[in-house]
Amino acid sequence: MKLVLDNLTKEFGGFVAVDHINLTMTNGVYGLLGVNGAGKTTLMRMLCTLLNPTGGGIYYDGKDIFQMAGEYRNLLGYLPQDFGFYPEFSVKDYLLYIAAIKGIRPVAARKRAKDLIVRVGLTEAADKKLKKLSGGMKRRVGIAQAMLNNPQILILDEPTAGLDPNERIRFRNLISELSEERFVLLSTHIVSDIEYIANEILMMKDGAIVNEGTLDEIISTMPEKVWNCIVPQQSVSAMTKKYKISNMKSENQGVDLRIISAEKPCETAVCVHPSLEDVFLYYFGEKVGDHNDTL
């Protein structure tokens, strides 16, 4: 299975949301990282044939996915960022309806829906109306519908957004379980989710992929170092204006700062191993004060 994005571009009335992306993806979990408005959702919607590109194309094993139409969508599972549903439908009814529009035969659909309901932990809620479910449960219904056709391509747009830590961990593990032998593209701005489950990371900014690779490869691309130091409270303001601060924690003896900088920021600073969050901040973050911020 090979999915190729060839010079893929999407413009909305002069605004370039996706800017000439060239990418080849195969099986595995791809984490798409980027700030809000980077173009992640637009890219994913094109991968789901929901939006037509204004330039370039997307090819599945050499075939244009927009030409493949239903044949391609048969391989696809999609959980959108704004997962909408039919409030009066029960979980079971909803899954059976989606199974029908996915072209799954009724007998197989019933079996598959039942299995997935168990797998996502919604057995007791199977007959409940969707409008009565919690946010986390709705997301689980979302992943279940995406998995109904056992898709080779699974696209998940911000699947853990708005979930509490327990639900998030549970959901993350579920995605890990489901990701075997398929292509999964997972978009989020919760960096730790990507860190835990993605094999490949794609960093997106202003509609373009600015960095890609494994976690270690991505981290190694950062030319600056990460430092830990404890500074007095009164120095914090100056430090935040001068450096990118990836973390700040008040301690008894001062403030513990995690700083991204090419140079040693202070005498007591200790160089530490960078995390994906540091890299994210390095590429996408802004130093406090860059735009006269006072925070």
CB-wise, 144 or 222, nearer to other proteins?
A: 144
Pattern 38-57, other proteins, x by CB under 8 A: -------x--xxxxx-----
Give, as ranges, the residues between 107 and 146 that touch other proteins (CB under 8 A): 145-146
**Minimum gap (Å) between residue 6 Cβ and other proteins:** 20
**Torsion from C-alpha of 23, 73, 12, 142, nearest 10 degrees:** -100
Distance, CA of 53 to CA of 57 (rounded, Å)? 7
CB-wise, 8 or 281, nearer to other proteins?
A: 8
Per CB under 8 A, the list member of 65, 96, 154, 231 interacting with other proteins is 96
3-class DSSP assignment, residue 182: coil
| Single-letter amino acid, residue 215 | L
CB-wise, 21 or 76, nearer to other proteins?
A: 76
CB-wise, 51 or 126, nearer to other proteins?
A: 51
**Minimum gap (Å) between residue 144 Cβ and other proteins:** 11
Q: How many residues bind other proteins (CB under 8 A)?
A: 33
Give, as ranges, the residues between 176 and 195 that touch other proteins (CB under 8 A): none
Residue with structure tokens 């057995």? 123
What residues have CB less than 8 Å from 232, skipping those under 6 apart?
254, 255
Contact 34, 40 (CB under 8 A): yes
**Minimum gap (Å) between residue 3 Cβ and other proteins:** 15
- Count Cα neighbours of 47 within 13 Å in the Cβ-side half-sphere: 32
**Minimum gap (Å) between residue 101 Cβ and other proteins:** 4
CB-wise, 182 or 244, nearer to other proteins?
A: 182
Per CB under 8 A, the list member of 4, 27, 92, 97 interacting with other proteins is 97
Alpha carbon separation from 115 to 104, 108, 148 (Å, rounded):
14, 11, 9
CB-wise, 149 or 240, nearer to other proteins?
A: 149
Give, as ranges, the residues between 53 and 92 that touch other proteins (CB under 8 A): 69-70, 73-74, 76, 78, 80, 82-89
Note whether 1 binds other proteins by CB under 8 A. Answer: no
Distance, CA of 160 to CA of 168 (rounded, Å)? 6
What residues have CB less than 8 Å from 137, skipping those under 6 apart?
122, 125
Note whether 98 binds other proteins by CB under 8 A. Answer: yes
166-182 burial string, b = 16+ CB within 10 Å, else e?
Answer: ebbebbbebbeebbeeb
Residue with structure tokens 């406090």? 288
Cα Rg of the chain, angstroms: 22
| Single-letter amino acid, residue 114 | K
CB-wise, 51 or 208, nearer to other proteins?
A: 51
Give, as ranges, the residues between 149 and 168 that touch other proteins (CB under 8 A): 149
Angle between helices 91-101 and 135-147 in degrees, nearest 10: 30
Contact 178, 151 (CB under 8 A): no
Longest alpha-carbon distance in the chain: 69
CB-wise, 136 or 142, nearer to other proteins?
A: 142
**Minimum gap (Å) between residue 49 Cβ and other proteins:** 7
Give, as ranges, the residues between 208 and 267 that touch other proteins (CB under 8 A): none
**Interacting residues toward other proteins by CB under 8 A:** 45, 48-52, 69-70, 73-74, 76, 78, 80, 82-89, 93, 96-98, 100-103, 106, 145-146, 149
